[in-house]
């Protein structure tokens, strides 16, 4: 087994394992939580395990704020648990490949280096940004493809804390071209909490639960006006309506989608579909809608809630933050601005090699919608081609694993003794150019 630990230290999840392997050993939430029944903060179980922990109304502490490591003490606790109980390693025998977001402040870099070398005593360290790793991984998958041949791509990383459009050229992230939207999966979950709390049940304290609701039920609309119409309809014609059942703490400690088939009905709507016929049917049957109003009222007392337009209004935020009163451009414009910050020679190649990564790109129809919005903003003579990753959550880690197994990896690292001699700031210079 390799002696490199690859650690993708995300704001939402930590992905960690051994360099050279296809998948990480473990994926854990990067937080501690305190269940209602406890006075202590606990380590959450890895995401893949069939845990029975009751996360209802649990308080959460995260070492990462807006994407950046702001609480090294808390991060140390979480890493300590990770290395000891999940990876079963002794850090002093290993090198570490660690991800860090673009534009990390020097004070945060110092604190990170101190954690790695002084608290855990790793042998050596290599710090890298995620876009570069995603690029490396996709290039390696298709050695004859454009991304590999041109050594160039535009990585769109829609993560937990924020969204970046980052041009990568000759395997380096062009930091002057990186553009950021201050929205990611966490903000989307919080927005969903607000909508549901405001309209049906108070779920403001249910981050874990609402993450599940978001992942299972939200999707990206290809036609907002049409979908808002459909979401208003009564009865069977409303293919967007679905019900989520809240945990009752007795028979089930996790929530679930009441009728998974019902929840998938929105897939019958295509981008070009006209809803007009159905709309008329819905309006023409007032007696049916009366009955449904009744049912809806009863259901509210049964610890469940209904979702309709919330399902697509939540991901809509990434495409149009301005709708929510946030003065930021949406994803398509963000990409255009990132491309325009680069040399014009690169523009056509960048538009033709867009790679989507990060958990928030998993919403159904994300890439179709992005292409729809992007096409009119890109000069006609350029092609727009969007590649989705096989696993957008693990994409960064897999790129890291690949890099860690390359023959010159050790030479790129800063060793513990170099750190002790030179200090953080001078060691850092080596990682970027």
Partner 1 sequence: MDDDVSNSFRRMSSRTRKVAPRMAAALASSDNRTQAAIARLEALENDYAGMEMVETNDDDEASLDDDDEGYLQKKQSKSTKRKTRQAKALENARKAPRNFLELLHEANLESLPPHVPSYLKAAVGPPSSTCRRHFCTVCGFLSNYTCVRCGMRFCSIRCQTIHDDTRCLKFVA
Q: Looking only at residues 331 through 370 of this chain, which bind partner 1 when binding is defined by CB under 8 A? A: 333-334, 337
Cβ atoms 34, 44 nearer than 8 A = no
Cα 269 to chain centroid distance, Å, stands at: 26
- Show contacts with partner 1 in window 117-136 (CB under 8 A): 118-121
Of the candidate residues 18, 135, 179, 347, the single one contacting partner 1 (CB under 8 A): 179
Burial class (CB in 10 A: 0-12, 13-18, 19+), 28: buried
Q: Which is nearer to partner 1, 309 or 389 (CB)?
A: 309
Q: Is 111 in the site for partner 1 (CB under 8 A)?
A: yes
Buried b / exposed e across 413-430, counting CB within 10 Å, b at 16+?
Answer: bbbbebbeeeebeebbee
Helix spans in 146-285 (H): 146-150, 185-199, 207-217, 224-232, 260-263, 276-283
Task: Lay out the site mask for partner 1 across 3-42 (x = CB under 8 A, - = otherwise).
Answer: -------------------------------x----xxx-
- Residue 398 CB, shortest distance to partner 1, in Å, is 25
Q: Find the part of the chain contacting partner 1 (CB under 8 A) among 77-85, 267-275, 342-350, 391-399.
A: 77-85
**Residue 263 binds partner 1 (CB under 8 A):** no
3-state secondary structure of 165: strand
Closest approach of partner 1 to the CB of residue 309, in Å: 4
Shortest approach of partner 1 to residue 140 CB, angstroms? 27
Whichever of 254 and 320 has its CB closer to partner 1, that residue is: 320
For partner 1, which residue of 37, 106, 276, 302 counts as binding (CB under 8 A)? Answer: 106
Residue 200 in tokens: 């049906």
Count of residues that bind partner 1 according to CB under 8 A: 91
Q: What SS3 state is found at 370? A: helix
Choose, by CB under 8 A, the member of 51, 420, 426, 429 that binds partner 1. 420
H-helix or E-strand containing 69? strand 68-69
Which residues in the 53-72 window bind partner 1 by CB under 8 A?
A: 57-62, 65-68, 70-72
Other C-beta atoms within 10 Å of 273: how many?
A: 13
- Minimum CB separation of residue 183 from partner 1 in Å reads 7
Among 3, 45, 80, 415, binds partner 1 (CB under 8 A): 80
Residues 143-172 interacting with partner 1 (rule: CB under 8 A): 161, 164
- Segment 81 to 100, residues that bind partner 1, using CB under 8 A: 81, 83-85, 90-92
For partner 1, which is the closer residue by CB, 248 or 420?
420
CA distances from 412 to 127, 154, 403, 415 (A): 10, 24, 10, 10
* Burial (Cβ within 10 Å: 0-12, 13-18, ≥19) of residue 343: exposed
Closest distance of CB 138 from partner 1, Å: 22
Q: Verify binding: residue 279, partner 1, rule CB under 8 A.
A: no
Query: Which listed residue (143, 284, 327, 408) binds partner 1 by CB under 8 A?
Result: 327
């Amino acid at each position: 087994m390799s002696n490199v630990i690859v650690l993708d230290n995300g704001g939402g999840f930590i992905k960690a394992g051994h360099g050279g392997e296809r998948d990480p050993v473990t994926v854990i939430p990067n937080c501690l939580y305190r269940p209602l029944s406890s006075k202590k903060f606990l380590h959450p179980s890895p995401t893949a395990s069939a845990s029975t922990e009751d996360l209802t109304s649990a308080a959460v502490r995260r070492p990462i704020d807006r994407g950046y490591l702001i609480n090294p003490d808390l991060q140390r606790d979480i890493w300590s648990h990770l290395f000891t109980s999940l990876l079963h390693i002794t850090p002093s025998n290993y090198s570490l490949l660690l991800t860090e977001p673009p534009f990390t402040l020097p004070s945060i870099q110092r604190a990170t280096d101190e954690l790695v070398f002084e608290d855990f005593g790793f042998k050596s360290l290599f710090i890298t940004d995620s876009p570069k790793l995603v690029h490396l991984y996709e290039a390696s998958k298709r050695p004859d493809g454009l991304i590999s041949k041109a050594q160039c791509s535009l990585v769109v990383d829609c993560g937990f804390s924020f969204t970046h459009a980052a041009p990568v050229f000759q395997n380096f992230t062009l930091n002057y071209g990186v553009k950021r939207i201050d929205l990611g999966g966490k903000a989307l979950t919080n927005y969903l909490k607000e909508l549901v709390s405001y309209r049906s049940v108070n779920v403001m304290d249910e981050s874990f639960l609402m993450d599940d609701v978001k992942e299972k039920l939200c999707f990206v609309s290809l036609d907002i006006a049409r979908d808002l119409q459909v979401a208003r309809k009564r009865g069977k014609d409303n293919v967007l309506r679905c019900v989520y059942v809240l945990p009752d703490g007795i028979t089930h400690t996790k929530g679930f989608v009441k009728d998974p088939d019902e929840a998938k009905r929105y897939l019958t709507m295509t981008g070009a579909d006209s809803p007009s016929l159905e709309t008329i049917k819905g309006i023409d049957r007032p007696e049916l809608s009366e009955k449904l109003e009744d049912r809806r009222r009863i259901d509210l007392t049964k610890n469940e809630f209904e979702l309709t337009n919330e399902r697509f209004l939540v991901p809509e935020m990434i495409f149009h933050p301005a709708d929510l009163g946030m003065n930021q451009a949406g994803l398509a414009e963000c990409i255009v601005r990132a491309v325009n910050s680069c040399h014009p020679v690169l523009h056509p190649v960048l538009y033709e090699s867009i790679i989507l990564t990060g958990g928030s790109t998993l919403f159904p129809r994300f890439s179709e919608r992005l292409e729809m919005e992007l096409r009119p903003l890109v000069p006609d003579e350029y092609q727009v081609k969007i590649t989705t990753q096989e696993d957008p959550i693990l994409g960064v880690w897999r790129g890291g694993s690949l890099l860690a197994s390359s023959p010159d990896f050790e030479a790129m690292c800063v060793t513990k003794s170099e750190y002790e001699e030179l200090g953080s700031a001078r060691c850092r210079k080596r990682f970027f150019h």
